Amino acid sequence: MRKKSEPTQVLSLEIEDKSQRAVQSVEVGGRLLLALADSGSALSLKDLAARAEMTPSRAHPYLVSYGRLGLIEQDSSGRYDLGPAALRVGLASLQRLEPMTVAEPVIRQLAAQTGHAIAIAVWGNFGPTVVRLIEAQQPLHVSLRIGSVLSLFDTATGRAFASVLPQERLLQAIAGPLGEAMPQEKWQQRQPEIQEIVQEARRHGVSRAISNPIPGVNAFSAPVFDLEGNPVMVITMTNHENRLPAAWKNEAVSMLAEAVKELTLRLGGQQPAQA
């Protein structure tokens, strides 16, 4: 009886191993492509190998093969950069991406894990506009609805946009549907507030609104960036103050920050060096 059972056990192990089988050399070589993608410029063999955590002699054969495929190319100085085939792959991936579709499973998971209400806002004609909303697990009586246009300075969502958008975009939103521009003197008076918003977002990676505009309700927001470093959307987490503390450092806020980083990465985006 024991001898008959052994082949079955061995077979099941083989099937399990095959389902997890990977080609190590592909993974190793892939580190070179990822290092180039993250570098932002062409690299020498030595620098590229170092970033991929391998020796130049080990990296070189991979680069030769990638060069034949057009995934990398060398400039006149001999430095390596991404080639036309890498561009084709990247463009094909971007063309198939739909930001809202990519964001949906991420915000659903975030809402399920935290229990807080999660909203997606995009920059509309009149400013931050809610386009997706997942209700909190416990009742949260707020007037947040799909299509709501949010205050630029009095909400976490608006402050997240204000921390990364250029001044002309902010002025356009403040002007409103009638295009009534804010007087220059009044705009200058708001500069300290805007600078505070920017510095706050840089320090903490998120923006917040405490009991504002709704007393007793806190909110945290963070932008998701596209390839050119523009905010494609802002993810906002909100709940009653007794469920969502105002402290910058808490587990839910950390999860929000990780979610927007994941979405930026999945959209091929990058956070701008300076807001």
Is the pLDDT at 6 greater than 70? The verdict is no
**In which band, very low, low, confident or very high, does the pLDDT at 273 lie, cut at 50, 70 and 90?**
low
- Could you tell me the pLDDT band of residue 262, with boundaries at 50, 70 and 90? very high
C-alpha to C-alpha distance for 258 and 69, rounded to whole angstroms: 35
Same domain, 29 and 89: yes
Most trustworthy range by pLDDT among 72-81, 108-117, 162-171, 182-191: 108-117
> Higher confidence at residue 16 or residue 35?
35
**Same structural domain, 26 and 71:** yes
**Listed residues 42, 67, 95: the one ending a domain:** 95
Task: Label residue 95 by pLDDT band (50, 70, 90).
Answer: low
Q: State pLDDT tens for residues 147-201.
A: 888 888 889 999 999 898 887 777 766 665 444 556 667 667 778 888 888 888 8
The whole-number pLDDT of residue 26 equals 85
Residue ranges making up the domain that contains 80 = 2-95
CB 29 within 8 A of CB 49: no
As a whole number, mean pLDDT of residues 240-262 equals 93
Domain count, the chain: 2
Helix (H/G/I), strand (E/B), else coil: 130 = strand
Q: CA-CA distance, 249 to 83, in Å (whole number)?
A: 42
Residue 273 is assigned to a structural domain of this protein: no
For residue 157, is it within any domain?
yes
- Between 9-18, 43-52, 99-108, 194-203, the lowest mean confidence (pLDDT) is in 9-18
Asked if 121 and 141 sit in the same domain, the reply is yes
Q: Are the beta carbons of 195 and 163 closer than 8 angstroms? A: no
% of the chain exceeding 70 in pLDDT: 83
Kindly give, in sequence order, each residue whose CB lies less than 8 Å from that of residue 241, ignoring residues fewer than 6 positions away: 210, 211, 216, 217, 218
Quick one: pLDDT at residue 18? 53
What's 68's domain CATH number?
1.10.10.10
> Could you tell me if 14 and 102 lie in one domain?
no
Closest CA to 206 of 133, 139, 110, 92: 110
The neighbouring-strand residues paired with 117 are: 238
In whole angstroms, give the CA distance from residue 231 to residue 249: 23
Question: What is the rounded average pLDDT of the residues 81-101?
Answer: 77
pTM of the model: 0.66
217-225 and 207-210 strand pairing: antiparallel
Is the pLDDT at 14 greater than 50? The verdict is no
Whether 9 and 114 map to the same domain: the answer is no
Q: How confident is the model at residue 274 (pLDDT cuts 50, 70, 90)?
A: low
| Burial (0-12, 13-18, 19+ Cβ within 10 Å), 188 | exposed
Same domain, 91 and 218: no
